[in-house]
C-alpha cells in the first residue's frame, strides 16, 4: 500500500477501503479490469466530443462514473457525473474545456492505479 493510501491523503483512488472490503487479490483484479476498459472509454468520449454527439458521450461518462466509483476514484467519478450533466446542455465549448481537465484527472488516476499494481 502506498504512503498516500495509508495516510488517506489526496490519492486519486481509495484502494484501502476496497482492499478491506474485497481483499488484495480481488482489488487487484478490479483495478486491472478498470485499466483495461477505461482507456478505450476515454478515447470514445473524445471522439463523441469531436463529433458533437451528446447522445454517445453521456452513456460513456456514466460508465466511467460507475467504474471509477467501484475502484474508489471518487473525484473522477464526480467529474464523470459533471460530464454527464454537461451533455444535457450541449455547450460544446464548456464540454471541451472541461474535458481537458477531466483527461488530466483520468491520467493521474490511471497512473496511480498502475503504480498500485507494481
Question: Terminal CA-to-CA distance of the chain, rounded, Å?
Answer: 10
Residue with cell 498516500: 4
Cβ–Cβ under 8 Å, residues 113 and 13: yes
Q: Which CATH superfamily is domain 13-117 in?
A: HPT domain (1.20.120.160)
Give the confidence band of 3 by pLDDT, cuts at 50, 70, 90: very low
Does 76 score more than 70 pLDDT? Answer: yes
Judged against a pLDDT cut of 80, whether residue 18 lies above it is answered with yes
Give percent above pLDDT 90 in the chain.
89
- Helices of type H across 1-118: 3-7, 15-22, 24-50, 54-70, 74-89, 92-117
| pLDDT value at residue 64 | 97
Every domain of the chain and the residues it spans? 13-117
C-alpha–C-alpha distance, residues 43 and 4, integer Å: 29
Write down the pLDDT at residue 10. Answer: 78
What crossing angle do the helices spanning 92-117 and 24-50 adopt, rounded to 10°?
Answer: 160
Q: How far apart are CA 64 and CA 72, in angstroms?
A: 12
Write down the pLDDT at residue 9.
Answer: 57
Above 60 in pLDDT, residue 2?
no
Q: What is the mean pLDDT of residues 27-34?
A: 96
Amino acid at each position: 500500500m502506498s504512503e498516500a493510501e495509508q495516510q488517506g491523503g489526496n490519492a486519486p483512488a481509495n484502494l484501502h477501503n476496497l482492499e478491506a472490503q474485497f481483499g488484495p487479490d480481488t482489488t487487484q483484479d478490479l483495478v486491472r479490469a478498470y485499466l483495461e476498459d477505461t482507456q478505450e472509454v476515454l478515447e470514445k468520449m473524445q471522439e463523441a466530443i469531436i463529433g458533437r454527439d451528446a447522445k454517445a458521450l453521456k452513456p460513456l461518462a456514466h460508465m466511467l462514473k460507475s467504474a471509477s466509483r467501484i475502484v474508489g476514484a471518487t473525484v473522477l467519478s464526480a467529474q464523470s457525473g459533471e460530464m454527464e450533466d454537461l451533455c444535457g446542455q450541449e455547450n460544446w465549448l464548456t464540454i471541451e474545456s472541461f474535458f481537458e481537465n477531466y483527461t488530466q484527472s483520468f491520467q493521474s488516476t490511471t497512473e496511480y492505479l498502475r503504480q498500485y499494481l507494481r
